[in-house]
Structure 1
Amino acid sequence: MSPNPPSSRALPPLVRIEGVTRRFGDTVALDGVDLDVRAGEFFALLGPSGCGKTTLLRVLAGFETPDSGTVSLDGRDLRGVPAHRRPVNLMFQSYALFPHMSVEKNVAYGLARERLPRAEIRERVAAVLATVGLTAQARRRPHQLSGGQRQRVALARAIVKRPRLLLLDEPLSALDKNVRAEMQLELKRLQLEAGITFLVVTHDQEEAMSLADRIAVLDRGRILQVDTPVELYRHPQGRFVAGFVGSNNIFSGHLLPSGGLDVPGVGVLPAPVGVGSAAGLVAVAVRPESIQVAAADAKGGEGLLHGTVLDVSFHGGSSRIAVTVPALESPVLVTASGPATVTAGTPVALSWDPSSAVLVETEETTWKTGGQAT
Structure 2
Amino acid sequence: MIRIHAVTRRFGEVTALDGVSLEIEEGEFFALLGPSGCGKTTLLRVLAGFETPDSGTVTLDGQDLLGVPAHRRPVNLMFQSYALFPHMNVEKNIAYGLAREGLARAEIGERVAAVLATVGLTAHARRRPHQLSGGQRQRVALARAIVKRPRVLLLDEPLSALDKQVRAEMQLELKRLQHQVGITFLVVTHDQEEAMSLADRIAVLDRGRVQQVDTPVELYRHPRGRFVAGFVGANNVFSGRLLPSGGLDVPGVGVLPAPAGKAAGLVGVRPESIRLAAQGADAHLHGTVLDISYFGGSSRIAVTVPGLDRPVLLTVPGPATVTSGARVALSWDPESAVLIETTGDTP
Counterpart amino acid of 2:139?
A: R
Matched with 2:296 is 316
CA distance in 1: counterparts of 2:3 and 2:223, whole angstroms: 24
CA distance in 1: counterparts of 2:75 and 2:143, whole angstroms: 14
Contact 2:298 2:319 in 1 (8 A): yes
Matched with 1:290 is 273
In the alignment, structure 1 residue 130 sits paired with structure 2 residue 104: no
In the TM superposition, what is the alpha-carbon distance from 1:282 to its structure 2 partner?
Answer: 2.2
Counterpart amino acid of 1:290?
A: S
Task: Please give the secondary structure, in 2, of the residue aligned with 1:328.
Answer: coil
Matched with 2:308 is 328
Matched with 1:114 is 101
Matched with 1:228 is 215
Matched with 1:342 is 322
Contact 1:318 1:339 in 2 (8 A): yes
Matched with 1:98 is 85
Match of 2:192 among 205, 215, 220: 205
In the TM superposition, what is the alpha-carbon distance from 1:183 to its structure 2 partner?
Answer: 0.5
Give CA-to-partner distance per residue, 1:223-282, whole Å, 9 cap, x none.
Answer: 0000000000000001000000000111111111111100011110011124xx4x3x32
Counterpart amino acid of 1:105?
A: K
Contact 2:222 2:338 in 1 (8 A): yes
In the TM superposition, what is the alpha-carbon distance from 1:362 to its structure 2 partner?
Answer: 4.9
Contact 2:94 2:147 in 1 (8 A): yes
Q: How does 1:1-374 map to 2 (within 5 A)?
A: 14-274=1-261, 277=262, 279=263, 281-296=264-279, 300=280, 302-362=282-342
Contact 2:78 2:153 in 1 (8 A): yes
In the TM superposition, what is the alpha-carbon distance from 1:337 to its structure 2 partner?
Answer: 1.0
Give CA-to-partner distance per residue, 1:8-36, whole Å, 9 cap, x none.
Answer: xxxxxx11000100001111000001100
Give CA-to-partner distance per residue, 1:323-367, whole Å, 9 cap, x none.
Answer: 11111111110001111111112221111111111122559xxxx
Matched with 1:9 is none
Task: Please give the secondary structure, in 1, of the residue aligned with 2:340.
Answer: strand
Counterpart amino acid of 2:276?
A: V
Q: Which runs of 5+ in 1 are unaligned?
A: 1-13, 364-374
Contact 1:256 1:262 in 2 (8 A): yes
Contact 2:223 2:341 in 1 (8 A): no
Give CA-to-partner distance per residue, 1:190-235, whole Å, 9 cap, x none.
Answer: 1110100000000000000010000000000000000000000000
In the TM superposition, what is the alpha-carbon distance from 1:295 to its structure 2 partner?
Answer: 4.8
Contact 1:167 1:199 in 2 (8 A): yes
Counterpart amino acid of 2:13?
A: D
Counterpart amino acid of 1:292?
A: R
| Greater Cα shift, 319-328 or 131-140 | 319-328
Query: Aligned-pair RMSD on alpha carbons?
Result: 1.2
In the TM superposition, what is the alpha-carbon distance from 1:294 to its structure 2 partner?
Answer: 2.6
Counterpart amino acid of 2:316?
A: A
CA distance in 1: counterparts of 2:65 and 2:84, whole angstroms: 28
Percent identity over paired residues: 83
Counterpart amino acid of 1:305?
A: L
Counterpart amino acid of 1:108?
A: A
The change in CA–CA distance for 1:362 and 1:97 in structure 2 (over 3 A counts) is closer
The change in CA–CA distance for 1:346 and 1:301 in structure 2 (over 3 A counts) is farther
Q: Which runs of 5+ in 2 are unaligned?
A: none
Give CA-to-partner distance per residue, 1:101-157, whole Å, 9 cap, x none.
Answer: 010000000000000011000000000000000000001111111110000000000
CA distance in 2: counterparts of 1:195 and 1:116, whole angstroms: 22
Counterpart amino acid of 2:324?
A: A
Task: Please give the secondary structure, in 2, of the residue aligned with 1:341.
Answer: coil
Task: Please give the secondary structure, in 1, of the residue aligned with 2:113.
Answer: helix
Contact 2:226 2:342 in 1 (8 A): no
Contact 1:216 1:227 in 2 (8 A): yes
TM-score, structure 1 length as denominator?
0.90
CA distance in 2: counterparts of 1:119 and 1:94, whole angstroms: 30
Task: Please give the secondary structure, in 2, of the residue aligned with 1:259.
Answer: coil
Matched with 1:368 is none
CA distance in 2: counterparts of 1:342 and 1:22, whole angstroms: 51
CA distance in 2: counterparts of 1:38 and 1:97, whole angstroms: 30
